[in-house]
Amino acid sequence: MGADKDFSHCLAKSLSQHSRALGRQLIGESFFPAIGRVGFALQNLAVQIGIPYKDDSKGIELPITHNELASYVGCNRVTVTRALSDLASEGLIEKRKKSILINNYDLLSNWLNKLSCV
């Protein structure tokens, strides 16, 4: 009985996280400029496919190319690359070959919260 209860809790938590990520993605695609949409996409992807970066609990690596991210966000690659450059200049991410490193997930979340309040 205990194993079923633990499984149910894990399943509910996973579904909840994915539902919130989907909701944020839909809001981001509808109401924000490209940099905001890319930021929200990175935040959602960190939950879905993110890999903790080395021993740093704040850094998350996303194994995704600019083209793949552009397809995910619904923008062209050039727009995504510009938005990523802007996020990198803010110190929120680092662009890597075939991946993106979110330097600090909490800082990215705070930045996006400020953007959504504007």
Residue 105 has, within 13 A of its CA and on its CB side, a CA count of 18
Q: What is the pLDDT of residue 68?
A: 94
Q: Which domains does the chain have, with CATH numbers?
A: 2-117 (1.10.10.10)
Contact 83, 34 (CB under 8 A): yes
Q: What is the pLDDT of residue 102?
A: 94
Q: What is the mean pLDDT of each run of 10 residues along the chain (118 residues)?
A: 75 79 62 83 90 78 94 90 94 92 91 76
Strand (E) positions, the chain?
A: 51-52, 60-62, 93-96, 99-102
Q: What is the pLDDT of residue 4?
A: 78
**Distance separating alpha carbons of residues 6 and 30, to the nearest angstrom:** 36
Q: What is the pLDDT of residue 66?
A: 93
97: left (phi over 0), alpha (psi -120 to 50) or beta: beta
Please classify residue 11 by burial: count the beta carbons closer than 10 Å to its beta carbon, then call 0-12 exposed, 13-18 middle and 19+ buried: exposed
**Distance separating alpha carbons of residues 38 and 60, to the nearest angstrom:** 15
Q: What is the pLDDT of residue 36?
A: 87
Predicted TM-score (pTM) of the model is 0.71
Q: What is the pLDDT of residue 6?
A: 82
Q: What is the pLDDT of residue 2?
A: 62
Query: In the chain, what are the helix, strand and coil shares in percent, each to the nearest 5?
Result: 70, 10, 20
**Distance separating alpha carbons of residues 74 and 63, to the nearest angstrom:** 18
